Chains A and B, each alone.
Chain A
Amino acid sequence: MLEVKNLSKSFDKLCVLKDINFTVEKGEVVAVIGPSGSGKSTLLRCVNQLEKAGGGEINVCGINMMHTNEKGKAVFADTKTLREIRLKTGLVFQNFNLFPHMTVLRNITEAPTLVLKKSKAEAREHAIELLRKMGLEAKADAYPSELSGGQQQRVSIARALALDPEILFFDEPTSALDPELTGEILKVIKELANDGMTMVIVTHEMAFAHDVADKVIFMEGGYIVDEGTPEHLFGDNASDRLKQFLQRFNQH
């Protein structure tokens, strides 16, 4: 489903991602954890085409998005292929990024009508179904500013799902929320996992990662330091560095 090989990325001189290797299988839920500045967001942004990786290889659903040629230069697929890949991936942001001038419904139907050329009625029907799933069918005509953070995040998840992505990425979906609103988002993600959705979730919610993930990736300093099942990573066999990180985390 997703294959990342030797991925690297730097901003000017600052090397943010170094030799990243991992795969995500269909239906798998992968949690990415690690200290601030370790490159978790940058990794998601490279895979979602919001940043251009500097080297390595990315394959999404068997389609090559980028690779490195013999001269060591990053080569990207043509625009058409990149657009095709873009529709297979969905991204949910930390601060929602809903469109404030559109109703909840329009937020969700805009991309399906513009990009997938769905009819208005069809897009609307799908959007309402998604809203029902998120428990927000009453909010279809509300504007984002009239919703709580948790509701906004659920709308943004519905918006990403409206394009029927093969794989959904979350960048700290609960970090901008009050603790009491965090639960409602985690519940939605858990339901998606039960439905068999393939997901990659950057999170600081360790209990949640332990609970819902099939695989956990621990990043630090631009490297994947440790990777494995939650039992392995949150157990006694984890690397010392990860244990240290988790210990510091639990103190907070």
Chain B
Amino acid sequence: MTGEQIETLFGLMLEYTIPTLKIFCFTLLYSIPLGMVVALLKMCKIKPISWLTNIYILIMRGTPLLLQLIVAQYSVPYILKSDACPAFLHALLDGVDIRSETYTFNMMLFAFVLNYAAYFAEIFRGGIESIPRGQYEAAGALGLNRTQTFFRIILPQVIRRVLPASSNEIITLVKDTSLASAIPYMEIMYIAKKQVPTYASLLPLFMAGLFYFAFAMVLTLLLSLIEKSLDPMWRRNVKTLRKGIFRRGNA
């Protein structure tokens, strides 16, 4: 390969990191809040709600994400044709152009969000349930109401506890976005695979791998910084350290 070819290839690959980043960002944007709602639904005292939520979580976690992506993409025309399709769904989906790019992207995002929300929900639920009952009782005995107890006492502790597991999910999502290439949706993995015969070289795959690796590393670093900054003792120690340096500098 000539230098010029490599440069063209690199430019092309770079362009297709954008759709990958788009999947990544939108999935997080929707699946984290949805995960919180799902976690609360699963902890709901009304049994049927908690069971239904649990079934949803089991299906999402028990079947391949790839399968879910493909079902989301191709099932709509079959659902519309079926007699069992409710009228409102028909009305909702009838005008949609299933060959349009928006449709492809939205259905793909739909599957990603539902899948990741299930994983996040389990993490959040675990975090909330891991807070000892004594914390609620101490807050109650001190006269804090339920809102104050949740936002001042429980939530800050939950956030710290769920962060490591959530970081794992976020890093996994970086790599899972490549499943979109099977739909097919044109992101970096799709384009890399397509360039292999064109250039008769593994370089495109190598470049894609490098991109995922760099992205995951940056995120790992960022998330561990966030984790540290949420550790109150670490924050206090940094503060005293800064004060110390400042004082010495002044003297």
Interface residues of A (CB under 8 A from B): 48-50, 83, 86-87, 89-91, 93, 95, 97-103, 110-111, 114-115, 141, 143, 145-146, 156, 159-160, 163
Among the 9-residue stretches B33-41, B81-89, B139-147, the one with 4 or more Cβ atoms under 8 Å from chain A is B139-147
If A50-B140, A110-B152 are given as contacts, then 8 extra A-B residue pairs at C-beta distance below 8 Å, sorted by A number, are: A89-B141, A93-B138, A95-B134, A97-B137, A101-B156, A102-B232, A103-B232, A141-B236
Q: Find out whether the CB atom of A93 lies under 8 angstroms from the CB atom of B137.
A: yes
Q: Find out whether the CB atom of B143 lies under 8 angstroms from the CB atom of A97.
A: no
CA distance A111 to B145 in the complex (A): 10
Task: For A115, give its contact among B132, B137, B138, B142 (CB under 8 Å).
Answer: B142
Q: Name the interface residues of B150-167: CB closer than 8 Å to any CB of A.
A: 152-153, 156-157, 160
Q: Find out whether the CB atom of A50 lies under 8 angstroms from the CB atom of B141.
A: yes
Give 23 CB contacts A-B under 8 Å: A50-B141, A86-B140, A86-B141, A90-B141, A97-B134, A97-B135, A98-B138, A99-B138, A99-B139, A99-B153, A100-B157, A101-B156, A101-B232, A102-B232, A103-B232, A103-B236, A114-B144, A115-B142, A115-B144, A143-B232, A143-B233, A156-B138, A163-B143
Q: Lowest 10 CB-CB distances: which A-B pairs, in order?
A: A97-B138, A111-B142, A97-B134, A115-B143, A91-B141, A101-B156, A86-B143, A87-B143, A50-B137, A114-B148
CA distance A145 to B157 in the complex (A): 14
CA distance A90 to B140 in the complex (A): 10
CA distance A159 to B144 in the complex (A): 13
Q: Find out whether the CB atom of B232 lies under 8 angstroms from the CB atom of A111.
A: no
> Closest CB of chain A to B141's CB: distance in Å?
4
Interface residues of B (CB under 8 A from A): 132, 134-135, 137-144, 148, 152-153, 156-157, 160, 232-233, 236
What residues of chain B lie closer than 8 Å to A163, measured between beta carbons?
A: 142-143
Q: Find out whether the CB atom of B137 lies under 8 angstroms from the CB atom of A114.
A: no
CA distance A159 to B139 in the complex (A): 11
CA distance A219 to B135 in the complex (A): 28
What residues of chain A lie closer than 8 Å to B157, measured between beta carbons?
A: 100-101
CA distance A90 to B142 in the complex (A): 7
What residues of chain A lie closer than 8 Å to B143, measured between beta carbons?
A: 83, 86-87, 111, 115, 163
What residues of chain B lie closer than 8 Å to A90, measured between beta carbons?
A: 141
Nearest-neighbor residue (CB-CB) of A84 within chain B: B143
> Closest CB of chain A to B140's CB: distance in Å?
6
Nearest-neighbor residue (CB-CB) of A49 within chain B: B140
Q: Which of B134, B143, B148 has the most CB of A within 10 A?
A: B143
> Closest CB of chain A to B233's CB: distance in Å?
5
Known contacts A100-B157, A141-B236, A143-B233, A93 near B134 by CB under 8 Å: yes
What residues of chain A lie closer than 8 Å to B139, measured between beta carbons?
A: 99
What residues of chain B lie closer than 8 Å to A115, measured between beta carbons?
A: 142-144, 148
Nearest-neighbor residue (CB-CB) of A98 within chain B: B138
Nearest-neighbor residue (CB-CB) of B232 within chain A: A101
> Closest CB of chain B to A93's CB: distance in Å?
6
Q: Find out whether the CB atom of A110 lies under 8 angstroms from the CB atom of B134.
A: no
What residues of chain B lie closer than 8 Å to A110, measured between beta carbons?
A: 142, 144, 152
